[in-house]
Amino acid sequence: MKMTFRWYGEEDPVTLDHIRQIPGMTGVVTAVYSVPAGEIWPRKEIAHMKELVQAKGLEMEVIESVPVHEDIKLRRGDYKRYIENYKENIRSLAEAGVKCICYNFMPVFDWTRSRLDQPLPDGSNALVYYKEDVGKMDPTRLTLPGWDASYSPKEIAGLIEAYQKQGEEGLWESLAYFIQEIMPVAAECDVNMAIHPDDPPWSIFGIPRIITSEENIDRFLALYNDSHHGLTLCSGSLGCTKANDYVHMVKKYGKAGRIHFAHVRNVKILEDGSFEESAHYSPCGSLDIVEILKAYHEVNFKGYLRPDHGRMIWGETGKPGYGLYDRALGAMYMTGIWETLDKLKGEIQK
C-alpha cells in the first residue's frame, strides 16, 4: 500500500510542505485544474506540476481526475473529439510517469451533499447528506467544490432532461463505448484506469447513476477484459448504504487485481438512510476501518490509498472536506493499522 494525499495544486491552502511532513506519505493525488473538461492538458503544465511535487520529495503517480465531458456520457455533439482528447491526455500523463488515473461517469453532478459545514457534537464541522434537504434543492442552482461550474441553470436543466431521457441503459451504452475506446490506449501506456463509484450510490434528481453496487461493478468490469480496467474503491461512497458490503468488495476485487486506488473514509449512516461524514476512527462512524484495512492487507494490496474527506477541526478553514488536520489524522490512523498488520503477519510467518 502506498499512502497518498489529495492536493489541489498551487492554490491549495494545504501545501506540499505540509503534506511531506505526514509520516509515511509517498506522494500526492492531483490534476491540471485550469483546463476545461474534454480539452487536452498541456504537457508543460503536467511537467511543471510534477517538478513541484518531486522537488518536495513526493511522487505524482496518481491523477484524480481527468474529467469525462458530458457529451461523452450522452454520446452527442463533439463526443468523438473529446474521446480522442481523453486518449491524448492518457498518453501525456503516462509520459510524465503517471501510473493510475481516477475518473467517474456521474452525470451532471459529481459528489453531492446537502451541507458542507454541519456542526458535529464534538465541535468539528463535516460534509453531510440529509435526504430531506436534498429533496428540497433546486438542482439547476447547486454548486459544490469540484463541480463543473461552467454551465448556466438553463444548461443544467437541459442536461438533466437529456439524462432522464437517456436512462440507465443508455448511460451503460455510453460507458461501454467510452471504455472500448480508451482502454487499448491505457493498456499500451501501462496506465491503470480506476473508475470512482457514484457518490452517493443512488439516483440524484431523477438522473441515472450506474456505478453503485457489486452487481453493477461486476457489469462494469466485464466491459473490458484487461487488468488496467479497474476501480477506485471508495468506502465513503459505496459504504454510505448498508446495501453494500464494502469489506467483501475489497476482498473480491482485490483478489482479482482490479483495485488500483483506494479511498478510505468513515461515514455515520442515519436511520432514514442519510449520512454524515465522520472522523476516520471506527467508533465515530458506521464503518469498521480496521476490518477494511485488514481486507486490503489480506489481498496484498500494492496500489495507492488516500484518506478521503476529513472534517474541519481545530478552527481550520479551507476547501470543504479537504483540510489538512483531519485528513492527516486519518492517514496516521490507517498507517498505524497497516504497520500493525504487517507486524502481525510477520509474527505469524515466524
Among 130, 308, 325, 326, the active-site one is: 308
What is the residue range of 70's domain? 2-349
Q: Is 322 an annotated catalytic residue? A: yes
Prediction pTM value: 0.94
Which of 142-166 are b and which e, b meaning 16 or more Cβ less than 10 Å from the residue's Cβ?
beeebeeeebeeeebeebbebbeeb
**In degrees, to the nearest 5, what angle opens at C-alpha 143 toward C-alphas 140 and 149?**
85
Active-site pick, 82, 86, 103, 322: 322
| C-alpha to C-alpha distance for 255 and 301, rounded to whole angstroms | 9
**Residue 168, C-alpha cell as written in the block:** 440507465
From the candidates 309, 325, 326, 333, which is the catalytic residue? Answer: 309
Q: What is the pLDDT of residues 233-278, one digit of tens each?
A: 999 999 999 999 999 999 999 999 999 999 999 999 999 999 999 9
Cell 483531519 sits on residue:
326
Q: How many domains does the chain have?
A: 1
ω into 65 cis (within 30 of 0): yes
Q: Residues in the chain with pLDDT < 70?
A: 143-150, 347-350
Cβ-proximal residues to 21 (8 Å cutoff; 6+ apart), any chain: none
234 catalytic residue (yes or no): yes
Measured between alpha carbons, how far is 200 from 197 in angstroms, rounded to an integer? 8
Catalytic residue among 263, 280, 296, 297: 263
- Cβ-contact 216, 202 below 8 angstroms: no
* Choice among 69, 196, 228, 297 that is catalytic: 196
Residue 294 maps to which CATH number? Answer: 3.20.20.150
Q: What is the pLDDT of residues 22-70, one digit of tens each?
A: 999 999 999 999 999 999 999 999 999 999 999 999 999 999 999 999 9
Residue 71 annotated to the active site: no
Q: Which residue has the cell 473529439?
A: 81
Catalytic status, residue 196: yes
